Chain A
């Protein structure tokens, strides 16, 4: 019998691992993903699969380039997750080169240039989304109305391939997302309250029958995935509650002050990337604070910036920018906001004696 004494305890470990965590996140994303593949048909499926394949491929290339073993890094599932999340934030009928460029930004620029898994400051999927949005504003806001698989008017397999390869003129097919619509209408002088009346009704918004990014239309299914993550303790409530709570409060407050200018809190909560962002993007381990207290501050920041960008900036959706901005202050949050050490004050001094000896 060979006894090893190379390592101090503990001699036991919780039955968890990075793979298991990543797998749970993927499982949580599955319902919304399947629904949207059905909703947006073959082109969306192609885009989705190519997105993941690009991320995994770029990851393998990066490892190969550094002369490191490829297999263990691919096996941790983080590239798959990045590709998946990136796909969820892209227009469902985006042509092939959009996810490919996104993958290069996400995996090479945002992750490996920073030193690989765990070292990156910015959320890779959001770097991809923002880089694409800034570089290709037209393609990135070409949304299509739902055309469920096998329904009338849905593109067939061959036509879908043409869409995927960018051979179809998208302008004729496009349709605005609700948030983009309100923004354009506002710029034309139409009040928010008037244009709100023309956005999809709440039910359709909740269940996802409306134009939007590939993974963001069905708030109910995304929420279900988020609750699953909470139940399995992959994430804790702190970030999602802080993000959504802040968005709801700000939205409701300003809507009450001036409904013609400001969309309602409920609209903000159920539109765009709110749910996906709160449960799946802002909660990214690597780029969010490690302490619960820090996570609350981070979540409030994300919620606040999201609302501000949506309301005042030129882009209809602000979640990606908000997350990236807060990512940049995560190291500061981590160094300033930390739990109180046992037996010490918040400042780190030993506690006063509660009783004199």
Chain B
């Protein structure tokens, strides 16, 4: 397949060898599971259980609220022991409403929805409904409810389901292992998703540094002429949706549009496998595969972790920490989040847990920008990070926005490469947050203004109607030649 070049990018130290050859192992069921109500992008789920309830494996514990939301299920059978605020896997360290489940060790299944005998015979809507009910979200890290992304076919004419197996983040090996060990399940899930989306074509994109995964996936795809497995160059951030779409199709998604607008929908490989489980077996999303790695982890592993297991349990299962790691990260080192402590749960969007040593993070105090231009050369979005950062430092957010900060995908390449160690992405995330807040405020004001205007218009109309009526009444009175009484003007 002909591939297309993407702009810029970097070649970080991948260090995937730490865990790439470790087959997926299951985490022994911990003593407690902490299930936050918000493990996805969108609105938090609403609890359906109470403290003291006995629940079965796969039973729904909290239902979605609104369109962009996802339910939470019981990863095993047991008793609900608490519903309260617990610290969430978020850098702020803030707590979040969480359902605490004490497993009973029986791992008894609830009655699950019947598997679809022939998923290709049902309408797409039924597939996406089931995927939504299974609580599946994008497992690549964004945790966007997958069902929403499966209904894109109703609004757009779609060409391609692009299955993202690039796994361009350093250290992470979970997608690599899933593709190597469960290639058939991934391909089956992808075919079901393609059916739901109505895309004739499926392309699986895998970075060239995962030859074993490419082999296995190619094998698994052989039987299906509409599925193509492509190895793409190793170039961070190849796994960025819009960039991967460009690399595969040559099409550039216009600013502020979705890839779906140009006919491509991107889903992660692990998500496809979760869809396979939901449709073929009626199983909701109860666990996920994560990579636990970094020089600060005694034995790096790929682990199938029940959702809600504490990071501390996961780390202990890997032989604990060695030395005193400098940073604990959820996700990959480039775009992952720093974790405030080990006492936070693994959630649907956790693709990895990294304990990184001082040498690995290589942090230094930042020094003045020497205008070397490297950040400009490598920015995959064609931005000028040095300029945006200097605007933001002076709180000139308007200028920063004009300079394109909202087009930044926060890939971190510029920060990674800056010889002055300037935390560029940190600035951009700050500016994006501020600009979004300003925008929301403005929209609210606009809305208030529109509402007020509408109300005024209504009142005006009412007054006008009354005036007309009064005039008519006065005219009638004049006609009947009774003396005008002047009170008709109310």
Contacts and interface: CB of A to CB of B under 8 A. Distances in A.
Contacts of B373: 285, 288-292, 295
B12 A14 contact: yes
A10 B334 contact: yes
B371 A285 contact: yes
A297 to B, nearest CB: 14
A49 interface: no
A310 to B, nearest CB: 28
B452 interface: no
Nearest to B261: A357
A353 B254 contact: yes
B419 A8 contact: no
A281 to B, nearest CB: 15
Contacts of B156: 357
Interface string A111-153: 0000011110000000000000000000000000000000000
Contacts of B362: 12-13, 15
A10 B425 contact: yes
DSSP class of A's interface residues: helix, strand, loop or mixed? loop
B22 to A, nearest CB: 21
Interface in B312-371: 321, 324-329, 333-341, 354, 356, 360-364, 367-371
Interface string A1-36: 111110111111111111011000000000000000
Contacts of B335: 9-10
A342 B361 contact: no
Interface stretch (B195-203, B226-234, B383-391, B468-476): B383-391
B339 A117 contact: no
B261 A292 contact: no
B455 to A, nearest CB: 35
A3 B255 contact: no
B10 A341 contact: no
B369 A11 contact: no
Contacts of A166: none
Nearest to A356: B157
A340 interface: yes
B242 interface: yes
B457 to A, nearest CB: 33
A17 B371 contact: no
A11 B333 contact: yes
A176 interface: no
B242 A354 contact: no
B143 to A, nearest CB: 17
B90 to A, nearest CB: 9
A5 B91 contact: yes
Nearest to A3: B328
Given A289-B373, A291-B376, A341-B383, A9 B252 contact: no
B7 to A, nearest CB: 7
Given A10-B333, A290-B373, A341 B368 contact: no
B380 interface: yes
Given A10-B335, A338-B384, A118 B407 contact: no
Contact of B356 (A12, A16, A342): A12
Contact of B416 (A5, A12, A78): A12
B354 A116 contact: no
A353 B337 CA distance: 34
B381 to A, nearest CB: 4
Interface in B67-124: 91-93
Contacts of B364: 13, 17
A314 interface: no
A14 B10 contact: yes
Nearest to A118: B368
A350 B263 CA distance: 17
A357 B12 contact: no
A128 to B, nearest CB: 19
B254 A76 contact: no
Nearest to B91: A5
Contacts of B13: 12
B260 to A, nearest CB: 8
Given A342-B252, A343-B253, A350-B255, A10 B407 contact: no
Nearest to B428: A8
Contacts of A287: 371
Contacts of B363: 13
A357 B153 CA distance: 10
A291 B337 CA distance: 31
Given A341-B404, A350-B254, A353-B254, A14 B371 contact: no
Contact of B370 (A118, A289, A350): A118
A81 B12 CA distance: 29
B148 interface: no
A289 B333 CA distance: 31
A72 interface: yes
B401 to A, nearest CB: 11
B394 interface: no
Nearest to B90: A5
B384 A5 contact: no
Given A18-B420, A72-B367, A9 B336 contact: yes
A261 interface: no
A344 interface: yes
Given A5-B338, A117-B370, A344-B255, A13 B421 contact: yes
Contacts of A339: 7, 376, 379, 382-384
26 contacts: A3-B339, A3-B341, A4-B338, A7-B426, A10-B333, A10-B335, A10-B415, A10-B425, A11-B327, A11-B338, A11-B356, A236-B377, A285-B373, A288-B373, A291-B373, A334-B384, A339-B379, A341-B404, A342-B255, A342-B381, A343-B255, A343-B407, A344-B404, A351-B252, A353-B261, A353-B262
Given A12-B170, A13-B416, A290-B387, 7 more contacts: A11-B356, A11-B360, A292-B376, A342-B380, A344-B407, A351-B252, A354-B262
